Amino acid sequence: MKDAPVFDQPPNRGVRPLIHRAPAGLKLGVALALAAGTAVVPVTWLWWHAAVAALLLTIVFMAKIRWRPLGARLLWFSPFVAGAALASALQGPAGPGWRAVALRGSLCLLTMLLLGATTSFSALLVVLHRIRVPALLVTTLALMYRYLHLLSDEAQRMNRARACRTFTPSRRRTWLISGEVIGRLFVRASERAERIYLAMAARGWS
Amino acid sequence: MHIPDGFLDAKTAAVAAVFSAAGLSGALYQLRRELPPRRVPLLGLGAAFVFAAQMVNFPVAGGTSGHLVGGALIAALLGTPAAVVVVSTVLIAQCFLFADGGVTALGANVFNMAIVAPVVGMAVYRVVQRLIPGLRGQVAALAFAGWCSAVAAAIVCAGQLAWSGTVAWSVAFPAMAGIHMLIGLGEGAISALVFYAVARTRPDIVASRPAGSLRGFLGYGLLATLGVALFAAPFACPWPDGLDAVAAKLGFARRAAESNWAWMAGYRLPGLGSGGAATALAGAIGALVAFGLAVLLSRLLVRTPAEAAKPAVDR
Amino acid sequence: MKPAIEISHLDYHYPDGTPALCDISFAIAPGECVGLLGPNGSGKSTLLLHLNGILPEKPAGGGAVRINGEAVAAHNLGAIRRQVGLLFQDPDDQLFGSTVAEDVAFGPSQLGLVPETVSERVQSALARVGLTDHAHRPPHHLSQGEKRRACLAGVLACEPTLLALDEPTSGLDPRGRREFKALLREVAGTKLVATHDLELVVELCPRSIVLDGGRVVADGPTVELLNNEALMLAHGLERPHILRHIHPHPSLAAEPPMRSDGGENFRPVS
């Protein structure tokens, strides 16, 4: 699994670019429209793909997004392209062909990466709340986002503490230990969930 | 198993989205009625837990390592509707935060990993747990359930790819099912290890899992079955000739693939006649092996007979 | 005048039957700042959770706990929780919002206030704790000291009359501790501070209550209690160093209190 999102923080250089300050709902809507459109239009409509690519690259430039992490993340997509190419080769001329898949997939991926880079997750949650997504789901998303880093830090600390006392590493022992670490992580998460409920109740939630 | 954008066509993505929206809404509705306010933060923390747990590496061979996916495990720990919501949350976040899994494929990914996987896992868990008593039974049940959930999700995923015409069934099915029959062993083993660790230190947490209404569970089961039937069954039908004709009329890619690359259509044990029977046999053998390994694991983990006799939860 | 907190013969058992609190009785007048001391497991946190009705799980309303004269019962939990601000031991449990501002707004919005008022309360609370610049940061980017201040802001935004704090300075570096101590000094109202930080208690709380094994073993002027070495050692505590070098009955005004201006500089208040 990859590291924490590279794009978690907006660029701190001076005034935040216009894109970052645009309303989250608008950005979400545009991103979804672009992705959905790109996924369904026929591959032969090259003008669509070219226009979308141009728009995305403009946004990258205007929003001052760093190239390198973006490019690195796009490369993650290559195994899928390779898989599609292999499948295409095996199944013959019928089917959309790996190039189409690669093009569409990359454009949609870039769209979502840019959305993540220019919009904070909390802003997206507010949008979800406004469009009447059930409160339980929004709360779950919010709490997950809030405690994600905490829990992964806890998991890392537990792993490190165990590693300090592991003198003869073996695969079997690593599996047992990792299983225990995840188990303890769940117990801690449940206990913390209980305490969070108390803290919410203490401030009037019911 | 996160399907990226561009791999599914409009109809498949739309149908999958409808199915998963239905399943997720049902789960939310059920939780709103049954979940006490005390346990609401547990959903969010459960999702954060699944995320964090997926980052822990389990070395396999050479430099590669596997990791937990968690559908069956979280269903065993929190109940089916909670598992549906928790895994959906993780998938939504992965899609928007990490661009892991396409946004147009979100419906399909949610259906495969947040509905099929936990439901199949839970169904298997409940059945096997009744067969073998005690904690050993629960551990074995979860190990096998983890395997089944991985394979089931993979099969439905293959069906979706085939229905979109992106990858032919004869390529997708053996590839996905085959790989996940192996990956599923890891998933089952890790799920069992984690469950055992939790049950040993805090059996009360396991015991406080909600019983879950049978009607609700049947609802998910029905939804999952419909989805499997829609996405996978047409391809797995044991009467390929009739379906071939239909497929040819509707322009599916499968027909061309079958004739050229029949040798690739995986699970054909030599010497057996019909392809369908061979596939079913291969699958059954795989499942038996997985089940045997699950029982073996439970015996290795739960050593003391005293421990084995009493379950972590009295259900 | 009605006591701000009045506990009369409070008993509590954990769900598994272990006794946690035995026959606790004391009263705290409005405006008092009282330290709650005791070894680990003495029941300090459990006692604090009784102040706003989180414990017992089903408040019977028998009058064992009274806040501003009103008995804590199942039917008036909302009103009680408006008056009692509780700061939990682990700031990560309490800071559950996606950003600092959102978290501080939680309490006021639960009170049913209109968005403008909520916003005002958030801004003033953040200003009081010095976190105005951090309003839109996610909690996991804050330092431990900043998290504690954010928790305090979240509680202050509800404008309680009474503050109950559970280990407010644990895990803080010396600067964080100084800043938090200065903040607490400025907050008006009744305060009950459960802590191991004996020096904090000497500096902030004229009166202290010592708990051990769920019972009140001492209740009196802080300096007197903490100078009593035998008492301290008998209950898992000790005489703090700050008292070793000062005459047993110091006048605290002899040493001017220090106030932080939010940065590195400390200037005596004069």
Q: What is the pLDDT of residue A28?
A: 85
DSSP characters for chain A?
---S-TTSS---SSSPPHHHHS-HHHHHHHHHHHHHHHHHS-TT-HHHHHHHHHHHHHHHHHTT--HHHHHHHHHTTHHHHHHHHHHHHHH-S-SS-HHHHHHHHHHHHHHHHHHHHHS-HHHHHHHHHHTT--HHHHHHHHHHHHHHHHHHHHHHHHHHHHHHT-SS--HHHHHHHHHHHHHHHHHHHHHHHHHHHHHHHHTT--
Alpha carbon C92 to chain centroid distance? Answer: 16
Q: What is the pLDDT of residue C266?
A: 43
Quote the percentage of chain C above a pLDDT of 90: 60
Phi/psi at C85 (nearest 5 deg)? -100, 120
Q: What is the pLDDT of residue A97?
A: 67
pLDDT above 90 for C161: yes
Work out the mean pLDDT of chain A and round it to a whole number: 79
Mutate which of C72, C76, C88, C98 to test chain A, going by most A C-beta atoms within 10 A? C98
Greatest mean pLDDT among A86-100, A105-119, C19-33: C19-33
pLDDT (mean) for A2-23: 53
CB contact under 8 A, A147 and B44: yes
- The greatest distance separating any two alpha carbons of chain A, rounded to the nearest whole angstrom, comes to 64
Q: What is the pLDDT of residue A93?
A: 56
DSSP C170: T
Please give the structure tokens belonging to residue B25.
């809404």
CB contact under 8 A, B257 and A91: yes
DSSP B241: H
Q: What is the pLDDT of residue B73?
A: 94
Q: Which amino acid is at B27?
A: A
**Domain interval for residue C214:** 5-252
Lowest-pLDDT range, B299-303, C56-60, C64-68, C135-139?
A: C56-60
Contacts of C228 (CB under 8 A, 6+ apart): C218, C239
Q: Specify burial of residue C231 (Cβ count, 10 A radius: 0-12, 13-18, 19+).
A: middle
- What stretches of C68-198 adopt beta strand conformation (E)? 70-71, 84-87, 162-166, 190-194
The residue with greater pLDDT, A118 or C137, is C137
Q: What is the pLDDT of residue B309?
A: 58
For residue C266, being part of any structural domain is answered with no
Does residue A199 belong to the interface with chain C, where contact is any CB pair within 8 Å?
Answer: yes
> Nearest CA to B146 among B199, B185, B202?
B185
> Nearest CA to B205 among A196, A194, A145, A178?
A194
Q: How many domains does chain C have?
A: 1
Which sequence spans correspond to the domains of chain A?
A: 18-128, 134-202
Q: Report the CATH number that the domain containing residue C203 is assigned in CATH.
A: 3.40.50.300
Please give the structure tokens belonging to residue B99.
């661009």
Q: Specify burial of residue B182 (Cβ count, 10 A radius: 0-12, 13-18, 19+).
A: middle
pLDDT (mean) for C82-103: 91
DSSP B112: I
Q: What is the pLDDT of residue B307?
A: 59
Quote the percentage of chain C above a pLDDT of 70: 91
Q: What is the pLDDT of residue A146?
A: 93
The residue with greater pLDDT, C184 or B278, is C184
pLDDT (mean) for C136-159: 92
For residue C262, being part of any structural domain is answered with no
CB contact under 8 A, A140 and B85: yes
The residue with greater pLDDT, C260 or C177, is C177
Alpha helices in chain B, H assignment, sequence order: 10-34, 40-53, 71-78, 80-98, 106-109, 117-131, 134-163, 169-201, 203-207, 214-231, 233-236, 240-250, 254-260, 275-301, 305-309
Model confidence at A15, in pLDDT bands (50, 70, 90)?
A: low
Q: What is the pLDDT of residue B135?
A: 87
pLDDT above 90 for B239: no
Model confidence at B142, in pLDDT bands (50, 70, 90)?
A: very high
> Nearest CA to A86 among B102, B264, B266?
B264
Q: Which amino acid is at B93?
A: A
pLDDT (mean) for C180-200: 93
Task: Name the residue among C54, C98, C107 with its Cβ closest to that of A122.
Answer: C98
Phi/psi at C161 (nearest 5 deg)? -90, -15
Q: Is residue C56 reached through a cis peptide bond, with omega within 30 degrees of 0 on the bond before it?
A: yes
Looking at beta carbons, which residues of chain A come within 8 Å of C97? 142, 146
Which sequence spans correspond to the domains of chain B?
A: 10-309
Work out the mean pLDDT of chain B and round it to a whole number: 80
Per-residue pLDDT reduced to its tens digit, A35-66: 888 877 777 777 888 888 888 888 888 777 77
Pairing between β-strand C33-37 and β-strand C190-194 as defined by DSSP bridges: parallel
CB contact under 8 A, B95 and A136: no
Q: Which residue has the tokens 């062909």?
A: A97
Model confidence at B305, in pLDDT bands (50, 70, 90)?
A: low
Q: What is the pLDDT of residue B311?
A: 61
Report domain B10-309's class. mainly alpha
B222, C90, C179, C213, C222 from C236: Cα distances, Å: 61, 22, 28, 11, 16
Per-residue pLDDT reduced to its tens digit, B51-104: 999 888 888 877 777 888 889 999 999 989 999 999 999 999 988 888 888 888
Q: What is the pLDDT of residue C255?
A: 47
Quote the percentage of chain A above a pLDDT of 90: 18
Does residue A202 belong to the interface with chain C, where contact is any CB pair within 8 Å?
Answer: yes
* C-alpha to C-alpha distance for B160 and B156, rounded to whole angstroms: 6
CB contact under 8 A, A206 and B37: yes
pLDDT (mean) for C7-15: 90
Task: Name the residue among A142, A192, A203 with its Cβ closest to that of C107.
Answer: A203
Q: What is the pLDDT of residue A115?
A: 84
**Nearest residue of chain A to residue B264 (CA atoms):** A90
Quote the percentage of chain B above a pLDDT of 90: 33
pLDDT (mean) for A196-203: 92
The angle at the Cα of C201, spanning C197 to C206, to the nearest 5 degrees, equals: 170
Lowest-pLDDT range, A1-15, C6-20, C38-52, C212-226?
A: A1-15
Q: Which residue has the tokens 């904070």?
A: A120
Q: What is the pLDDT of residue A95?
A: 55
pLDDT above 50 for A14: no
Please give the structure tokens belonging to residue B201.
């230190």
Q: What is the pLDDT of residue C46?
A: 93
**Angstroms from B94 CA to nearest CA on chain A:** 10
DSSP characters for C41-97?
TSSHHHHHHHHTT-SSSS-B--SSEEETTEEPBGGGHHHHHHHEEEE-S-HHHH--S
Pairing between β-strand C70-71 and β-strand C65-67 as defined by DSSP bridges: antiparallel
Does residue B77 belong to the interface with chain A, where contact is any CB pair within 8 Å?
Answer: yes
CB contact under 8 A, B46 and A137: no
* C-alpha to C-alpha distance for C194 and C21, rounded to whole angstroms: 15
Looking at beta carbons, which residues of chain A come within 8 Å of B260? 91-92
Per-residue pLDDT reduced to its tens digit, B149-196: 999 999 999 999 888 877 778 888 888 888 889 889 999 999 999 999
For residue C265, being part of any structural domain is answered with no
Give the sign of the dihedral formed by CA B193, CA B199, CA B201, CA B205.
positive
Q: What is the pLDDT of residue C28?
A: 95
Q: Which amino acid is at C96?
A: F
* C-alpha to C-alpha distance for C110 and C118, rounded to whole angstroms: 10
**Angstroms from A20 CA to nearest CA on chain B:** 16
Does residue A6 belong to the interface with chain B, where contact is any CB pair within 8 Å?
Answer: no
Q: What is the pLDDT of residue A122?
A: 84
